[in-house]
C-alpha cells in the first residue's frame, strides 16, 4: 500500500457517515496566494494543523468556504476555511450552522490576536469581538456571542503608528513563526477537548 493509499484510507475512516455532524470549527483567514502565511491567516494555519493531525483534507467548496468533514475526538465536525475574506466571515459560518441546524454554542472559531505574543493562545467560552472584524461579522450574522473561540497570538504592532492592516497582512519573521508553530499541537488538543464539552479543561491546560 502506498503512502497516498494509506492517507486516503485514514481520511475515509475519519468521516463516518453513521454519526451526525454536530460541531463546526472555523479557522479564519483570507483566501489567495498573497495572504498565505500572513498573521491574519493564523486561523487557516490552525485548521491545516488539525487536518494534518486527524488525516483529513479540505476537498469541497460549500458555504463559501473550503470544507472538510472529520471525526475529532469522536465528534463529527465540519471544518471550515471561509473564503469570504475576513471581514465577511459570518456569511460562511452562519450558512453552515443554518444548513446543519447546529446551535451556536457548537461553533468553535480560531483566529489571530494582536494582543498576544506568537507563543501564546487564549481560549474563551464566549465574548465580544474585541475589535476583530471576522468575529464581529460572525456575531452580527449569527446574532450571538455565545460561542467558544481560540485566540492565536500573532504579536503587537512594532510601534503605534504602524498601519494595522499592513501588520496583520504581513508575515511572521522566522523566530515569530517558530514560536507560533510551537503551539499548534496545543491548539489541536484544545480543539478536541472543546468539541467534547471540556472547555474548562482546555482553558486550564492551554491558556498560556
pLDDT at 18: 59
Q: Does residue 4 surpass a pLDDT of 60?
A: no
pLDDT tens profile 27-59: 999 999 999 999 999 999 999 999 999 999 999
**Per-residue confidence band for 17, with pLDDT thresholds at 50, 70 and 90:** low
Q: For 148-183, how does the pLDDT look when each residue is reduced to its tens digit (9 = 90+)?
A: 999 999 999 999 999 999 999 999 999 999 999 999
User: What are the DSSP calls for 70-100, one per residue?
Assistant: EEETTEEEEEEEE-S-GGGHHHHHHHHHHHH
Active site residues: 40
Would you list the domain boundaries of the chain? Answer: 23-206
Percent of the chain's residues with pLDDT above 90: 90
Question: Is residue 85 within 8 Å of residue 30, measured between CB atoms?
Answer: yes
- CATH T-level topology, domain 23-206: Rossmann fold (3.40.50)
- 34: its cell numbers: 498573497
- Residue 6 pLDDT > 80, yes or no? no
Amino acid at each position: 500500500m502506498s503512502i497516498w493509499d494509506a492517507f486516503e484510507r485514514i481520511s475515509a475512516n475519519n468521516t463516518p457517515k453513521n454519526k451526525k455532524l454536530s460541531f463546526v470549527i472555523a479557522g479564519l483567514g483570507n483566501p489567495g496566494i498573497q495572504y498565505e502565511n500572513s498573521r491574519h491567516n493564523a486561523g487557516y494555519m490552525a485548521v491545516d494543523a488539525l487536518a494534518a493531525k486527524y488525516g483529513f483534507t479540505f476537498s469541497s467548496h460549500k458555504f463559501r468556504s473550503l470544507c472538510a468533514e472529520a471525526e475529532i475526538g469522536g465528534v463529527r465536525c465540519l471544518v471550515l476555511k471561509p473564503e469570504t475574506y475576513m471581514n465577511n466571515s459570518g456569511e460562511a459560518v452562519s450558512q453552515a450552522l443554518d444548513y446543519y441546524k447546529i446551535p451556536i454554542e457548537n461553533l468553535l472559531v480560531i483566529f489571530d490576536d494582536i494582543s498576544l505574543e506568537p507563543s501564546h493562545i487564549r481560549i474563551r467560552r464566549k465574548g465580544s469581538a474585541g475589535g476583530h472584524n471576522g468575529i464581529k461579522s460572525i456575531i452580527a450574522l449569527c446574532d450571538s456571542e455565545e460561542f467558544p473561540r481560540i485566540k492565536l497570538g500573532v504579536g503587537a504592532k512594532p510601534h503605534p503608528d504602524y498601519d494595522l492592516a499592513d501588520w496583520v497582512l504581513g508575515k511572521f519573521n522566522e523566530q515569530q513563526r517558530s514560536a507560533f508553530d510551537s503551539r499548534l499541537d496545543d491548539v489541536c488538543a484544545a480543539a478536541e477537548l472543546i468539541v467534547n464539552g471540556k472547555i474548562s479543561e482546555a482553558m486550564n491546560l492551554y491558556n498560556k
